[in-house]
């Protein structure tokens, strides 16, 4: 399997803050690779180093087999970037923006081909300021594809999109993978990471705490499942943390979620607690573990294992 991105002991510091702390990992050709973590975890800094927008303090960052510090301009010709917010002239037409960005590269794709791929044919004469958020994001993705990139970096690709536009974005990302492109995605949405990514790197406080497929990361929780029910308002959080096999508790004003490694035993004690304190378990739901649980366990509680 060909490696197209390789990080070895990568470090970046801002003053006394360590943003990237000795990160070592690789991305394989043709995969959708996710980088997730809480705000300030360091994932955007990692991406910006790989894009040639920032310089690492130490360590190695190879993109397409070349050192990004020495070959930044060459690498930029071979990658595409979708930022969280792409600045485009509001009074320009879609076709004008595509041609303008295309002029920045040595190699370009016919804008009409990209427009057909992304469903932008009918928007060519539309002004950027007239487009909805979903359509602007499609134009931004078109700009990321204008140079026929081998690697595409997508920073929060569905942020601010409504559910329909988000699903359409996911479908387009899968279609890009089928073309053989490598895609690196940063996201706060664990549902997005679980649905899109072949492998996911979990970053916390600048460190890589886990790296594997979504399914294996979920399995690392030891079969933990979630019990959700309406908050009766008659017991404090401590009472629930003391129930058998409960790994963690999400205590909210209207809902309580128990993460349990033995759901049957936890349920027995939950109903016993309810009877003892004279309240009823209502709105009960049993759910398998998900990437949301992985995110909570490995970032908020500092757990994790790199594979």
Helix H, strand E, coil C: the string for 128-159 is HHHCCHHHHHHHHHHHHHCCCCCEEEEECCCC
Cα–Cα dist 249/257, whole Å:
6
Reduce the DSSP state of residue 50 to 3 states and report it.
helix
Tell me what percent of the residues of the chain surpass a pLDDT of 90.
73
pLDDT in tens, 224-263: 688 999 999 888 899 999 999 898 898 999 999 998 878 8
Equal CATH topology for 3-78+150-218 and 224-288: no
- Which among 270, 303, 304 has a CA at the least distance from the CA of 286? 270
122-131 average pLDDT score: 96
Q: Is the pLDDT of residue 305 over 50?
A: no
Residue 207 binned pLDDT confidence (cut-offs 50, 70, 90): very high
Residue among 101, 196, 120 at smallest CA distance from 156: 196
Q: What is the mean pLDDT of residues 29-38?
A: 95
Answer yes or no: are the C-beta atoms of 184 and 152 closer than 8 Å. Answer: yes
For the chain, the domains span 3-78+150-218, 91-143, 224-288
Percentage above 70 pLDDT, the chain = 96
User: Token pair of 165, please?
Assistant: 């536009």
Provide the pLDDT for residue 197: 96
Residue-wise pLDDT tens digits, 138-175: 999 999 999 999 999 999 898 888 889 899 999 999 99
pLDDT of residue 222: 60
Strand partners, 204: 207
Structure tokens at 276: 């003892």
Specify the fold of 224-288: Alpha-Beta Plaits (3.30.70)
Query: How far is Cα 135 from Cα 212, in angstroms, rounded to an integer?
Result: 33
Q: Which of 55-59, 75-79, 133-137 has the lowest mean pLDDT?
A: 133-137
pLDDT of residue 304: 43
pLDDT above 70 for 50: yes
| Reported confidence tier of residue 306, pLDDT bands at 50, 70, 90 | very low
- Give the span between the Cα atoms of 24 and 49, in whole angstroms: 14
pLDDT at 36 over 60: yes
| Cβ 73 vs Cβ 67: under 8 Å | no
What's the mean per-residue pLDDT of the chain?
91
pLDDT band at 303 (very low <50, low <70, confident <90, very high): very low
187's CB contacts (< 8 A; 6+ apart) are: 34, 36, 156, 157, 158, 193
- The helix/strand/coil state of 184 is strand
CATH topology of domain 3-78+150-218: Rossmann fold (3.40.50)
Q: Say if residue 57's pLDDT is above 50.
A: yes
Taking only the tens place, the pLDDT of each residue in 210-229 is 999 998 888 776 656 889 99
Closest CA to 50 of 31, 23, 32: 23
How far, in Å, CA of 83 to CA of 38, rounded?
A: 18
| Residue 286 reports pLDDT greater than 60 | yes
């Amino acid at each position: 399997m060909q490696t197209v991105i390789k990080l070895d002991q990568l470090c970046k510091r801002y003053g006394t803050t360590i943003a990237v702390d000795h990160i070592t990992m690789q991305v394989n050709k043709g995969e959708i690779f996710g980088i997730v973590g809480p705000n300030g975890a360091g994932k955007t800094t990692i991406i910006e180093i790989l894009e040639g927008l920032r310089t690492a303090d130490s360590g190695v960052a190879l993109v397409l087999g070349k050192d990004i510090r020495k070959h930044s301009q060459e690498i930029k010709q071979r990658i595409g970037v979708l930022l969280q917010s792409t600045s485009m002239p509001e009074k320009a037409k879609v076709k004008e923006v595509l041609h303008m960005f295309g002029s920045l590269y040595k190699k370009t794709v016919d804008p009409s081909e990209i427009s057909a791929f992304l469903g932008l044919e009918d928007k060519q004469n539309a002004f950027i300021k007239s487009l909805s958020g979903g359509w602007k994001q499609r134009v931004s993705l078109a700009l990321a594809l204008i140079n026929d990139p081998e690697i595409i970096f997508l920073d929060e690709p569905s942020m601010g999109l409504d559910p329909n536009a988000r699903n359409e974005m996911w479908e387009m990302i899968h279609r890009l993978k089928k073309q053989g492109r490598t895609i690196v995605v940063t996201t706060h949405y664990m549902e997005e990471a679980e649905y899109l990514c072949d492998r996911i790197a979990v970053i916390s406080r600048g460190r890589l705490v886990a790296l594997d497929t979504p399914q294996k990361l979920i399995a690392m929780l030891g079969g933990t499942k979630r019990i959700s029910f309406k908050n009766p308002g008659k017991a404090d959080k401590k009472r629930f943390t003391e129930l058998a096999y409960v790994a963690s508790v999400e205590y909210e004003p209207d809902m309580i979620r128990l993460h349990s490694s033995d759901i049957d035993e936890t349920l027995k004690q939950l109903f016993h607690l309810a009877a003892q304190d004279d309240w009823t378990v209502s709105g009960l739901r049993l759910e398998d573990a998900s990437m949301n649980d992985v995110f909570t366990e490995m970032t908020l509680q500092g757990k994790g294992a790199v594979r």
